[in-house]
Amino acid sequence: MSLPSVPEPPSPHHGHTHGHTHAHGPAAPVSRHLRKVIAAVLIPFAAAVLTGLVALWPGGAPPHERTGVGFDRQTQQGKVVNVDTVDCKEVNASQMPVGGETAPQSSGRTGLCAKATVEVTTGHDKGRRFVEVVQPDAPRQLREGQGVVVAYAPDAPHDLQYSVTDVNRKFPMALLAGIFALVVVAVGRMRGVMALVALAVSFAVLTLFILPAILQGSNPLIVAVVGASAIMLIALYMCHGLTARTSVAVVGTLISLLLIGLLGSLFIGWASLTGNTDDSTGLIHGLYPRIDMSGLLLAGVIIGSLGVLDDVTVTQTSAVWELHQANPTMGVRGLYRAGIRIGRDHIASVVNTLVLAYAGAALPLLLLFSIARSSVGTVANSELVAEEIVRTLVGSIGLVASVPVTTVLAALVVSADRTGLGAEAGAPAPVRTGKGRRRRTRQ
């Protein structure tokens, strides 16, 4: 015969268990007084960012005469309608345009070449066809039915005005983006939707404000700070809500960004890094000589560090909040010690992630130095590699510094508002004895 279940009497640890169950839900609201203090800090900051956006808003990139070099070419869409295999000697492949560039002239090549007939599908010459010869050792081979990007040179002879410059990758890229969005929404649900919206807003700020403002001649550092601050405010509050927890993460991120900006400005100037190290930056400097290329390098450091900084500051703030809800009797020192232990593990993984990300982006360059058998000192001293080293180390210093800064801020906020948190969460205020233990009140 089964006995009816009898509710268990409250145990001495019941209060702790109750607090822990709330740790997995939304953060308890803070008191009205603390909300006023946080607003007094963040509202002027947000107003300054908005003022900067209005004052520096470019209204679009300035026009310029196309040079026909690199990305600064007129392009249209095309389609490969036919591909024939011919002897390279018959088509004199050594003198034919290959991928928009003229190959070096020689006595001729042996082997079989691909003779592709390409039709222009957009622009005023829609329907026009031209022939593209692809050598057998070319890195990009063409196939029938393939979409391509064609470059248009209006000053060239009629038969050489069009050439294939790249393949059309829009469909696989769009499909991958769609899969990414579905995975984010399926796992993150509403937060995933808000994260995608915040991502779209970040790209909008980057393309509509940061890039055109730099092209208009505004100081790249100021533009990057204003743009990164706008992205930070929009993304963090949109993804994590308008709460004190998010506000602490915003302040921690802002302090770390300022540190990155100061260190980056110091060492970029000290190391005499010009920011003009490859064909792309050389073309930008040629088209817009007013742009400060070293300032552009510093702007890239700040923007590149922002995404990882957001992750670190939000994680640390959430950790301190959860620790306080699990044990409301912990003071500032106890919360900081517990939070910093979590932060140390985060530091190790984040710094390694950042270094590997930059190393992966510079892998072809590092491979070239390896082929040349250059010493480590020679490689590190070259401006191309020195830029990546400064970018990595300055960003990593800012990331490491963000952990104790954000942990201290979060511990101070939740400790200063201990009574408000406990009262608004519905828990009785803790009573301390001389030994610091919690005394349970009589019911």
Whether pLDDT at 30 is above 80: no
Tens digits of residue pLDDT in 159-178: 788 888 888 888 999 999 99
> What pLDDT is stored for residue 372 in this prediction?
65
> What pLDDT is stored for residue 436 in this prediction?
45
Residue written as tokens 């900006």?
A: 261
> What pLDDT is stored for residue 92 in this prediction?
65
DSSP string, 372-394: TT--HHHHHHSHHHHHHHHHHHH
DSSP state of 70: T
Produce one character per residue of 282-299: b if its CB has 16 or more CB atoms within 10 Å, e if not. Answer: eebbebbeebbbbbbbbb
> What pLDDT is stored for residue 101 in this prediction?
44
Tens digits of residue pLDDT in 87-146: 887 776 544 444 444 444 444 456 788 888 888 998 888 888 888 888 888 888 888 888
Whether pLDDT at 269 is above 50: yes
| Cα separation, 197 vs 404, whole angstroms | 30
User: Please, which pLDDT band fits residue 197 given cuts at 50, 70 and 90?
Assistant: very high
Q: Tell me the mean pLDDT in the region 191-204.
A: 90
| Cα separation, 373 vs 113, whole angstroms | 35
Beta bridge partners of 166: 149
**Contact between residue 34 and residue 416 where contact means Cβ atoms under 8 Å apart:** yes
Query: Could you tell me the CA-to-CA distances from 25 to 244, 246, 267, 326, 329 in Å, in that order?
Result: 15, 15, 44, 12, 19
- Pick the more confident residue, 322 or 1: 322
Whether pLDDT at 68 is above 60: no
Whether pLDDT at 341 is above 60: yes
**Contact between residue 72 and residue 139 where contact means Cβ atoms under 8 Å apart:** no
Q: In the numeric block, which tokens belong to residue 324?
A: 């306080």
> What pLDDT is stored for residue 67 in this prediction?
56
Could you tell me what percent of the chain has a pLDDT over 90?
11
Residue (of 49, 45, 41) closest to 412 by Cα position: 41
The mean pLDDT value of the chain amounts to: 77
